[in-house]
A and B are shown apart, each in its own frame.
Chain A
Amino acid sequence: MANRWRATSALAIGVLMVAGACSSNATPSAPGASGSAAPSGPAAVPTVPTGYAELDKALGADKPYSGKTVDIQVQWTGGELANFQASLADFAKATGINVQVDSVPSSHETVLKSRIEGGSPPDIAQLAQPTPVLAYAAEGKVIDVSKFMDPNKLKTDYPATIGLVSANGGVWGIPYKADVKSTVWYPIKAFEAKGYKVPTTWDELIALSDKIVADGSNPWCISAGGPGDATGWQITDWIEEVVLKTKGTQYYNDWISHKVTFEDPGIKDAFDKYVGKIFFTPNYVYGGPQAIINTDQKTTMDPMFNQDMQAPKCWMQKVPTWYGPDFFPDQRASGQPSKYIVGKDVGIFPFPTIDPNQNNAEGSADTMMMLADRPEVRAVEQFLSTPQGLQRWIEAGSAISPNTATPADWYAGSYKLQVASNIVSKASGIGFDASDLMPGAVGAGTFWTQSVDWVNNDGKNTDAVLKAIDDSWPAQ
């Protein structure tokens, strides 16, 4: 419990470093788009001595691990994969280690489980949720990094997130990349042309939505995250956002640990009063509620780009900060960097507050879990735990590090990261994605499927849905 409280209230601290240098400089200087930025200046590797034995050895002039292979399995693909590989490139050159990245975009967890259980795991694996990391650790399949990395240093560097991957006296992974989820994307120029103002409170958001409907359009593009098996996670993000902003972080954490059940009035209100209002008010969602569960998450925002963004068919989409130009329709089609600039054409505003006293934000983080113990694998894991492990990705404007030692000036010049840092620095508390922390049968199971069922029934069966989720909570 103390873990969760510390974690959720202090993800802010982790990213607050960003706020320090960025708050005054609001003008986006460089095109803050994602995609690999040309590496400039010194190589993105930490300076020796780093404090880690194997990493110091690897970076030594004699390159003792040169020629060895370390394989990492991730679910990132496209632009995210390119950024990850860019972050590893300088390290691979400096040490001679052959870092091989296996990208398994669909069924990453299935392949990973088969490899782990089958006895031929990857050396390092990325997981988007802490729950399976701890599940594998309980089976004894994960290497305890605190054996060769100072646990106190880890606690200092990752105050918010290290607790989520620690259990039974061991630390079972390194939090690597964080995302802020309380962001809404919108077309800047079209807003100006119509005289719409960015809403800062829930009432303003509803008023804006009504105004857009009155003007003959649909304010929201929403996708549940589909198709197929992935459907449902975005609905859970909406619910979690509202719970954080109406009931606060202590209630939120109690909800994760099941002290607060889904049938509690606070959760029910989140469904019916708030999320339901956005989803089911006639004409609010482009395509109606059916579109929510039938739209692919890659193409959700396409209607916003209608007629070169001058006549958007929808005006707002709530999606986390890992979103970027590689999702825009023109870059998807051509493979070339999008002509729409984040910060000039496409903007991001923080999800409006509901209760002014509960200005909390939602975030999540990926974990790098180590499955094989060899000196070169240790060196790579240690590198990933340094700020330089994410440097090129940050410089590309697409990643936030949960490491508090990350230099704040790396975030300067990226519109998206500045928005994210503002959200975090102004937030009174941060919640970690709840469905990522709940037991698998709920967090990846009934919370998703029942939410989809709720939308499929136009929000009429809330009580049955909440009861079904509660009933499915595994007995402890």
Chain B
Amino acid sequence: MAAGARPTNPPPSRFVLPILGLVALGLCVGGILVLIEPHGGQNLLAAIYDALGNGAGATELRNGSGDQLVARIILAVIAVGVGVGGIWLLFLGVGGLVGMLRPAWRDRILPWVFVGPALILLATYLLYPGAATVARSFFDAKGAFTLDNYAVMTTPSMIEILRNNVIWLVVATGGSVILGLVIAGLFDRIRREALAKTFIFLPLAISLIGASVIWGFMYAWEPAGQPQIGLLNAIVTGLGGQPIPFFTTSPLNIAAEMVIMVWLQTGFAMVVLSAAIKGVSTEIIEAARLDGAGERQLFFRIIVPSIRGSIVTVTTTVAIATLKIFDIVYVTTGGRFHDDVVANRMFHEMFQFFNDGRAAALATLLFIAVLPVMYLNLRNFRRQQVER
């Protein structure tokens, strides 16, 4: 060997990572294939058993008995591995690839790399179904193109439904926000503030359906002369009146249902507005007091305008929840006593009348109704950004 000549070994580390990455990618693809196939876990384990010479175990697995639990555990491990590890690899790999580009290109593409998967998921599970729903609303139950699904919005029963939604929007939202604001203002300086607020906030933890069942008992009706199990009717009959069937009397039933919604949402409004009120700078309040402002003037002239952004946020959030209202109406009356709402009607059209087109039209209508509220929310958000 010639003196001074060194054996040249190309440093292997440059290729190790990419090769490992490719191997891992292959494993992920294989994992996804196993996950997609029905009985993938069982077949994989059966194949492993076959390779290990355990033919009997393999046959058992394929027949639906044998080591099913092991197969399921393998499937779970693959799912977690692909889900967590695969995504991590994806970001690592694509980030590495983009990192090798020229700086100008890199800066342009790298943000898209990180946002890309989320955008794809949003497009698949939000944009595509949304567009498909709007498209579906133009076809009738047999598949023919029609504008009928929108034309029926003018029938008296639909007008009643739309009227009910407007009532819900105005009264339930207004009630929750105003009540939340008043309570937030009143609780601002009492002694056991946290305890009091907890009681108001607690209903928010209950689902809409649970709340409807609870209030169903509050409003329960028994024939006159029988013991009343509903609290309200017990009071009414105790004072000498006739029991009132709250849920079957229109329009009282809409009010009764809205009470449930207000009961749930007031806590949310109160918490947000209370935090906002506490955020108003004390200097302004002191200055106002020095100028001789009374408590009421202080509240309505100083505090409320200062927290306007929060009020708008709360109002839009509650408004969207109110526009979508379904659970309360479905559980209490099924919408059968002139208190039907759009979401409830959409449910019936879809699942009982097998009229997907009309259900899609109602969903589209709801979507259009929510758009202005969303716009208000965004505008408010942007204004808050500017103010900061």
Contacts and interface: CB of A to CB of B under 8 A. Distances in A.
B352 A293 contact: no
Given A286-B223, A440-B353, A445-B348, A456 B330 contact: no
Interface residues on A, range: 20 to 34
Contact of A290 (B216, B248, B347, B348): B248
Nearest to B38: A120
B65 interface: yes
A227 B331 CA distance: 8
A68 B141 CA distance: 37
A369 B334 CA distance: 27
Interface in B235-249: 245, 247-248
Contacts of A184: none
A18 to B, nearest CB: 33
Interface in B151-186: 155, 157
B248 A67 contact: no
A69 B39 CA distance: 13
B340 to A, nearest CB: 8
Interface in A61-79: 67-69
A135 interface: yes
Contact of A287 (B155, B223, B347, B351): B223
Q: Which of B224, B226, B351 has the most CB of A within 10 A?
A: B351
Interface in A209-259: 227-232
A67 B64 contact: yes
A294 B247 contact: yes
Interface in B309-354: 330-338, 347-348, 350-354
Contact of A132 (B222, B247, B248, B354): B354
A474 B250 CA distance: 27
A59 interface: no
A441 B353 contact: yes
B337 A452 contact: yes
A231 B65 contact: no
B64 A294 contact: no
Interface in A41-88: 67-69
A366 interface: no
Interface in A439-470: 439-441, 444-445, 448-449, 452-453, 456, 468
Contacts of B155: 471
B140 to A, nearest CB: 9
A231 B336 contact: yes
Given A288-B223, A441-B353, A67 B65 contact: yes
A290 B351 contact: no
Contact of B352 (A290, A444, A452): A444
B221 interface: yes
Nearest to B356: A117
Contacts, number: 74
B355 interface: yes
B385 interface: no
A149 interface: no
B61 to A, nearest CB: 11
Given A67-B65, A286-B223, A228 B332 contact: yes
B353 A444 contact: yes
A463 B259 CA distance: 34
Contacts of B63: 67-68
Nearest to A441: B353
A170 to B, nearest CB: 19
A109 interface: yes
For B222, B333, B338, the residue with the greatest tally of chain A CB atoms inside 10 Å of its CB is B333
A346 interface: no
A132 B351 CA distance: 10
Contacts of A40: none
Contacts of A228: 330-334
Summarize B's interface: helix, strand, loop or mixed.
Answer: loop
Dominant SS among interface residues on chain A: helix
A101 B317 CA distance: 42
B352 to A, nearest CB: 5
A68 B64 contact: yes
B158 to A, nearest CB: 11
B353 A229 contact: no
A440 B358 CA distance: 13
A441 B353 CA distance: 5
Given A228-B334, A448-B336, A110 B351 contact: yes
A405 interface: no
A230 B335 CA distance: 11
Given A290-B245, A290-B248, A456 B352 contact: no
A109 B352 contact: yes
A291 interface: yes
B221 A290 contact: yes
Interface in B31-80: 63-65
Contacts of A68: 63-64
A440 B141 CA distance: 12
A93 interface: no
A448 B348 CA distance: 13
A287 B248 CA distance: 14
Given A232-B336, A449-B336, A474-B141, A291 B223 contact: yes
Nearest to A64: B63
A89 to B, nearest CB: 20
A287 B221 CA distance: 10
A471 B158 CA distance: 13
B87 to A, nearest CB: 25
A339 interface: no
Contacts of A468: 157
A293 B248 contact: yes
Contact of A230 (B334, B337, B348): B334
Nearest to A439: B353
A113 interface: yes
Interface in A271-314: 286-288, 290-291, 293-294
Interface string B346-373: 0110111111000000000000000000
Contacts of A293: 245, 248, 337
Contacts of A286: 223
B357 to A, nearest CB: 11
B351 A231 contact: no
B44 to A, nearest CB: 19
Nearest to B226: A287
A441 B351 contact: no
Interface in A129-168: 132, 135
Contacts of B333: 228, 231
A455 to B, nearest CB: 9
Contacts of A449: 336
A232 B348 CA distance: 15
Given A229-B330, A286-B223, A288-B223, A445 B352 contact: yes
Nearest to A96: B65
A109 B348 contact: no
Contact of A440 (B216, B330, B354): B354
A445 B353 contact: yes
Contacts of B248: 290, 293-294, 456
Contacts of B141: 474
Q: Give the top 3 A-B pairs by smallest Cβ distance, nearest first.
A: A287-B223, A229-B334, A440-B353
Given A227-B216, A294-B245, 12 more contacts: A67-B64, A67-B65, A228-B330, A228-B331, A228-B332, A229-B334, A287-B226, A290-B221, A290-B223, A440-B353, A453-B337, A453-B338
Interface of B: 63-65, 141, 155, 157, 216, 221-224, 226, 245, 247-248, 250, 330-338, 347-348, 350-355
25 contacts: A67-B63, A67-B65, A110-B351, A113-B351, A228-B331, A228-B332, A228-B334, A229-B330, A229-B334, A231-B336, A232-B336, A286-B223, A287-B222, A288-B224, A290-B221, A293-B245, A294-B221, A294-B245, A294-B247, A445-B353, A452-B337, A453-B337, A453-B338, A456-B337, A474-B355
